[in-house]
Amino acid sequence: MNPTPPFEAQDRPARLTVGVVGAGRVGPALAAALQLAGHRPVAVSGVSDTSVRRAAELLPDVPLVAPAEVLARADLVLLTVPDDALAGLVSGLAETGAVRPGQLLVHTSGRYGTGVLDPATRAGALPLALHPAMTFTGTSVDVQRLAGCSFGVTSPDELRMAAEALVIEMGGEPEWIAESARPLYHAALAIGANHLVTLVAQSMELLHDAGVQAPDRMLGPLLGAALDNALRSGDAALTGPVARGDAGTVAAHVTELRRHAPQSVAGYLAMARTTADRALAHGLLKPELAEDLLEVLADADDGPGTTPGTPGTPGPDPDAPGHGPGGGGR
């Protein structure tokens, strides 16, 4: 293989050989998008049968090799492993001499900026954090969904133009995130995306229990309108019994949930309090109605199945960082 020429950050990236370490839902899709832009995937690593199958579908004829060999073959390497595995992977690759000077090393974790790549940077790698703010299915549809997708980008100043060019080539839109703001940025996406999935799935279950034959069809127009209104108007889009201060209706909700779905009471109460606080702060909820509503919510906390004054303990989040919004994407 010819030596990699020095990378000039101010130039649009030349056609690069691309490698993927971690054939989860994200890496093969991004490599496929880069391939459409003229870059050339040359190596991918994956362990599970699902990863191997996904790589074969999205990157046909690209050889499956060990992580160190991916770095040996590629000018641009996508590190698309779970968040908690990223630091150890980078350290291991740097310690074993797998990192080559001038090599672009890109991770897709929402949680981290470029600091997690420091061991590789000291070995001469060019570090980029490019996080697509999208949930991934692990299929070819993800490549199409990248069109217009925002990427949370963190990079050294001298690599900003290179980072921007790569994101645009994948069809995305770069949003610059400071290194120190990455955890807050990722938390925001988790609240919006991961928790949304939980809420929608829970709502569908409750509608099914209430006798609705097609919960998805019922919720589709309602949730689509609610999301559109929220994105356009923020808190001004709040509707429903909490925002109106209908304490009696909220009390009836809690009673029914305790009877039919006690596991959802804690989440309902937590979201109702948050909604009430935001509606009150934005002048949507009248203070005199808020008092009655908050009394109902406080009393509900003392009901069976909860500890007074605290919400119940949530179960594990299957979409936590590490593939995920989170998917994110991550």
**Residues 155, 133 contacting (CB under 8 angstroms):** no
Contact present, 133 and 177 (Cβ < 8 Å)? no
Place of tokens 């870059």: 39
Q: What is the per-residue pLDDT for 116?
A: 98
Q: Is 43 in the same domain as 134? A: yes
Dihedral sign computed on CA atoms, order 288, 293, 297, 302: positive
**55 and 85 in contact (C-beta within 8 Å)?**
no
Q: Could you give the C-alpha distances from 7 to 20, 73, 102, in angstroms and in order? A: 19, 16, 6
Residue 273 lies in a domain: yes
**Same domain? 278 vs 153:** no
The pLDDT tens digits along the chain (330 residues) read 444 444 443 444 579 999 999 999 999 999 999 999 999 999 999 989 999 999 999 999 999 999 999 999 999 999 999 999 999 999 999 999 999 999 999 999 999 999 999 999 999 999 999 999 999 999 999 999 999 999 999 999 999 999 999 999 999 999 999 999 999 999 999 999 999 999 999 999 999 999 999 999 999 999 999 999 999 999 999 999 999 999 999 999 999 999 999 999 999 999 999 999 999 999 999 999 999 999 999 988 766 544 333 333 334 333 333 344 444 444
Whether 167 and 202 share a structural domain: no
Distance CA 299, CA 293 (A): 10
- Which of 9, 78, 2 shows the shortest CA–CA distance to 44? 78
* Cα–Cα dist 7/28, whole Å: 24
What does the block give as tokens for 11?
A: 């130039």
Q: Is residue 164 domain-shared with residue 202, that is, in the same domain? A: no
**Domains held by the chain: number:** 2
In this structure, the answer to whether residues 44 and 145 fall within a common structural domain is yes
Counting beta carbons within 10 angstroms of the beta carbon of residue 145, is it exposed (0 to 12), middle (13 to 18) or buried (19 or more)? middle
Q: Are 41 and 144 found together in one domain?
A: yes
Residues 272 and 137: their CA atoms lie apart, in Å, by 31
H helix runs in the chain, sequence order = 27-36, 49-58, 67-73, 83-95, 118-122, 141-145, 160-169, 182-189, 195-209, 215-233, 241-244, 247-260, 265-281, 287-301
Break the chain down into helix, strand, coil percent, rounded to 5.
Answer: 50, 10, 35
Residue 330 lies in a domain: no
Residue 311 lies in a domain: no
Question: How, if at all, do strands 104-107 and 76-79 pair?
Answer: parallel
The confidence score (pLDDT) of residue 305 equals: 44
What is the dihedral sign for C-alpha 189, 195, 197, 203?
negative
- Residue 292, domain member (yes or no): yes
pLDDT value of residue 86: 97
Domain hosting residue 229, numbered range: 185-302
Query: Do 169 and 33 share a domain, yes or no?
Result: yes
Q: Are residues 191 and 158 in the same domain?
A: no
- Residue 24, CB-side half-sphere exposure with 13 Å CA sphere: 23
Q: Which of 127, 71, 130, 120 is nearest to 104 (CA)?
A: 127
